[in-house]
C-alpha cells in the first residue's frame, strides 16, 4: 500500500511561503517530484524561486510558461522546472517528462511541474503542493474573475496570504513531509 501524508499550512505573507519552499528544498533528495497546482497568481513561480535559491541555484528562476522546461544544474541537486499551462493534456505526453525522473537521459534531481493537473498519467510517487489565496471579503470578485480576465486584474492586488496544502504520495516523499513536520 502506498504511503500518503498530508499537511495543511497557512502562510500570512510571501516570506512565510518562501520559508516553507526553502525548508522543503533543504529536505529534497534526488528523485523528488513536485506537482504544483494553483490558480494564476497563487505563487507557484515564487515558491519555485525560493526553492531553487535554497538548492543553491544562482540563475534567476522564471516561469517556463513559454519555454516549457527550464533546467538548472548548478545547485545542490539539478532542478527541472516544467510549466504545462499553455498545453492541452493531449500534448503533454510528447514532452516525455518521465525521462526527467528516470535518471537515465538526465542527471537525477528534482522535477517540479506547474499545472500538473494537465498530466494524463501521474508519477507513482510525488509531492503535490497546492497553493491558493484565501477568500477575503474584499477579494471574492477579483479571485472569481482571475482566470477569465487577466487584462483587467492586477495580480499585485491579491493578498500575500496563502493556504499551502502538501500531499506526499509514496514513502520517499512521505519521508520529506515527516521530516518537514519534525
pLDDT (tens digit per residue) in 49-77: 999 999 999 999 998 888 899 999 999 99
| 142 or 13, higher pLDDT | 13
What's the pLDDT tens digit per position in 77-97? 999 999 999 999 999 999 999
Alpha helices in the chain (DSSP H): 14-27, 44-54, 98-102, 140-145, 171-181
14 close to 160: Cβ distance less than 8 angstroms: yes
* pLDDT band at 157; cut points 50, 70, 90: low
151 close to 44: Cβ distance less than 8 angstroms: no
Whether the predicted pLDDT of 38 surpasses 60 = yes
How far is it, in rounded angstroms, from Cα 177 to Cα 88?
31
Question: Which of 2.60.120.330, 3.40.470.10, 3.40.50.300, 3.40.50.620 would CATH assign to domain 4-181?
Answer: 3.40.50.300
pTM for the whole thing?
0.84
- State the chain's maximal CA–CA distance in angstroms: 50
**Model pLDDT, residue 158:** 59
Amino acid at each position: 500500500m502506498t504511503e500518503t501524508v498530508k499537511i495543511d499550512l497557512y502562510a500570512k505573507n510571501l516570506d512565510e511561503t518562501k520559508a516553507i519552499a526553502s525548508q522543503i528544498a533543504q529536505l529534497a533528495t534526488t528523485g523528488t517530484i513536485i506537482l504544483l497546482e494553483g490558480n494564476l497568481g497563487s505563487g507557484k513561480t515564487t515558491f519555485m524561486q525560493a526553492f531553487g535559491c535554497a538548492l543553491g541555484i544562482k540563475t534567476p528562476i522564471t516561469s517556463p510558461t513559454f519555454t516549457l522546461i527550464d533546467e538548472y544544474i548548478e545547485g545542490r541537486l539539478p532542478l527541472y522546472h516544467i510549466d504545462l499551462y499553455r498545453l492541452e493534456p493531449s500534448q503533454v505526453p510528447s514532452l516525455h517528462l518521465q525521462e526527467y525522473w528516470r535518471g537515465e537521459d538526465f542527471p537525477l534531481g528534482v522535477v517540479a511541474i506547474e499545472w500538473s493537473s494537465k498530466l494524463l498519467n501521474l508519477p507513482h510517487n510525488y509531492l503535490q503542493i497546492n497553493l491558493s489565496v484565501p477568500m477575503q471579503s474584499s477579494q471574492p470578485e477579483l479571485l472569481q474573475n482571475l482566470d477569465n480576465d487577466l487584462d483587467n486584474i492586477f495580480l499585485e492586488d491579491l493578498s500575500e496570504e496563502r493556504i499551502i496544502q502538501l500531499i506526499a504520495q509514496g514513502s520517499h516523499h512521505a519521508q520529506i513531509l515527516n521530516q518537514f513536520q519534525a
